[in-house]
Amino acid sequence: MIPNQWYAILESSEVKPGKPLGVTRLGENLVLWRGEDGQPACLVDRCVHRGAALSLGKVHQNDVACPFHGFRFDPAGRCTLIPANGKDVPPPRAFQVPSYPVQDAFGWIWLWWGAARQELPPIGYFDAITPEMSYATLRDLWKTHYSRAIENQLDVVHLPFVHHNTIGRGRRTLVDGPLTRWDCSLAECDLLNLWVSNRKDDGRAPQRPDQLPEPARRPSLQFRYPNVWHNWISDRVHIVAVFAPVDDENTLLYIRMYQNVVRVPLVRQLFDQAGRLANLVIERQDRRIVETQLPKRSHLRLGEKLIQGDGPIIAYRRRREELIHAGGR
């Protein structure tokens, strides 16, 4: 995992007021809930008293209560009540559950995975996604490391083969470039812009990235570290994918189609659901192949024999390794 990052781990709608939710993310069993203030909270899903799952408990005001003996914990993991000791007896400070900072932004729950800071960095998204856009979300579990799932969305070489009857129609097997550019406007260089240029093989060699003209149009794809991807189909239709790490061998993939083409309420819902079904067909074509890749976790010096068209994957791996090393320091 890349440390010191905001990871999108859930849809905002999945964390409901007054009801604890148990999930596995980043290899950890977690409990999330919303208290009376409506803000999300996140703790390790394990009571420090006897190890029971807090996610089976209840929410009291802004605290979560263990289902076993009623111990209550606030969003910072501090024990606020031990019923057996009485409500007027302060709990010992040692009764502390590990907590994670979480935020609700852009319709996602984001978890800060890294060192404690007095001020956490802002959460980045994509400027092209505007509030008036509607969407429907697809969720699907991929049995692979989240890095492999991300690389698949940066892979422009596979389109005419894996998606020969959907988005890869036309047999455009030859790849010019691709052209990649980093956007460093938000704290660090965490936004990768990618321009795709695939064409039919007419005997001419593919152009290198340095032979391509500077792009005069918006990027085809964007990836923001550590786990959010954007396909800029048009100014009015966008695909966003979140690769929520479950553990080293599983990733929960969320895909949204944002649109403001159709605005009539009922027709808009039908249009959004049609987009969701189309995404299901396409991502299942990917999943069938990606789940066979070994090893399941990607890294820079994997020993794979890469080609020019794999430039975006190389860029992703290099930056990922830089961020991991920087976090370690």
Domains annotated for the chain, with CATH where assigned, are 5-113 (2.102.10.10), 134-328 (3.90.380.10)
In this prediction, residue 184 carries a pLDDT of 81
Instruction: Extract the tokens encoding 314.
Output: 């190389």
Q: Report the percent of the chain where pLDDT is more than 90.
A: 95
pLDDT tier, 327 (very low <50, low <70, confident <90, very high otherwise): confident
pLDDT tier, 118 (very low <50, low <70, confident <90, very high otherwise): confident
pLDDT tier, 189 (very low <50, low <70, confident <90, very high otherwise): confident
Q: Report the percent of the chain where pLDDT is more than 70.
A: 98
What does the alpha-carbon distance between residue 137 and residue 281 come to, in Å, rounded to a whole number? 14
Mean pLDDT of the chain: 96
Amino acid making up residue 296: K
pLDDT tier, 281 (very low <50, low <70, confident <90, very high otherwise): very high
- What is the DSSP track for 155-219? --SSHHHHTTTTTTTT---EE---EEEEE--BSBS-EEEEE--EE---SPPPPPGGGSPPP-S--
What does the alpha-carbon distance between residue 211 and residue 219 come to, in Å, rounded to a whole number? 17
Residue 329 has pLDDT above 80, yes or no: no
pLDDT tier, 186 (very low <50, low <70, confident <90, very high otherwise): low
In this prediction, residue 185 carries a pLDDT of 72
Residue 166 has pLDDT above 70, yes or no: yes
